[in-house]
Amino acid sequence: MPLTNPSAWSATNLRRAISAAGVALWSWNVETDGFAMDDRGFELWAVRRSDSVKFEDLSARIHPADRDRVREAFTATRAIVGAYEIDFRIIIDDEIRWISARGIGDDTALYDHLAYGIFLDVTGRKQAEEGHELLAGEMGHRVKNLLAIASGLTQISSRSAKTAQEMAVQLTGRLSALGRAHDLVRPLPGHQGTAALLGDLISILLSPYEDMGAFSGRIRVAVPRMGVGESTATTLALVIHELATNSLKYGALSTENGTLDVSGTTEGEDVRMVWTERGGPEVKSERQSGYGSRLVERSIAGQLGGSIACDWSTEGVVVTLLMKSSKLAS
């Protein structure tokens, strides 16, 4: 297509267009190893403007892990036919930038021993790519963890249930508890954690029992305001679900007048949470430990660095959970 306005392509306007695009121009003398750059190039590399810049002068700015690769790549371009692109990192003060060097290879394209090309700052693009890779890796990690948890819960439910229907109810309940905890995994302001507030987590996990008609308003949650990490949210979901299921079967939530109180305090590096049931059937003897109870004990001890204790008083069971505050935020 013929140019309708040739003056728009003058040298001055081309320089303006190159500057607007953030492009730095360079030439490399393959015989003397000298580099020449425009003002944008010196600014990009943060080196003092000079007419005697060598490749090694710029190499000092290249990330040590990329330095040899870049030198070898530039040397190899002399045998490349056509366009090439090399991405590498440079270090300016304490900041790492990503640079893309682009040009035309093959010695036949040289003019007076000079190879020409451009530098582009592609830091933003590289950071986005790294973010996508981290996200993909994290998603894969989470999926594997969830599959492992689901497999373990299936085995536990199959061993403790007496019928297929009972197993389906138990497994669905446990998986639903995990799902509710997973929904709470959101960043919090003020560096309070990476998942949810402890009180919000417990309240949402107990909400199905609170909504059961006569049970409405009989569950109280009063715990310290603190953040809970993602792995802890999953662990607490299992623990709270197991305690609530037992209460619904045998304890305070199995009667119309029963109440449940979940309170918490901080004690140095520890968090003490007390699960108190009152108004349920009289506790005549300590219940035997089942698979669910052993799961709770292992989770509290192994993942939260704490312990669990049960007081089987006749007024109702009192469960005391002791957890490390540092573990809660993980």
Q: What is the CA radius of gyration of the chain?
A: 33
Residues 6+ apart with CB under 8 A from 145: none
The answer to whether domain 6-121 and domain 127-328 are alike in fold is no
Q: How far apart are alpha carbons 119 and 44 in whole angstroms? A: 8
DSSP label at 58? H
Select from 183, 181, 159, 187 the least CA-distant residue to 171.
159
Instruction: Name the pLDDT band for 187 (thresholds 50, 70, 90).
Output: very low
In this prediction the pTM is 0.46
Q: How far apart are alpha carbons 216 and 13 in whole angstroms? A: 74
The 3-state DSSP class for residue 63 equals coil
Tokens at residue 98, please?
């990503």
The residue extents of the domains of the chain are 6-121, 127-328
Q: What Cα–Cα distance (Å) separates residue 64 from each residue in 44, 57, 72, 237?
A: 18, 14, 14, 46
CATH topology of domain 127-328: Heat Shock Protein 90 (3.30.565)
Instruction: Name the pLDDT band for 222 (thresholds 50, 70, 90).
Output: very high
Q: How far apart are alpha carbons 139 and 89 in whole angstroms? A: 27
Q: pLDDT: is 193 or 98 the higher one?
A: 98
Q: What Cα–Cα distance (Å) separates residue 287 from each residue in 264, 293, 298?
A: 24, 10, 18
Domain 6-121 bears CATH identifier 3.30.70.260 = no
Q: pLDDT: is 231 or 253 the higher one?
A: 253
Instruction: Name the pLDDT band for 223 (thresholds 50, 70, 90).
Output: very high
Residue 156: the pLDDT is 58
Q: pLDDT: is 42 or 137 the higher one?
A: 42
Select from 289, 207, 194, 277 the least CA-distant residue to 234.
194
Residue found by looking up tokens 């986005």 in the block = 128
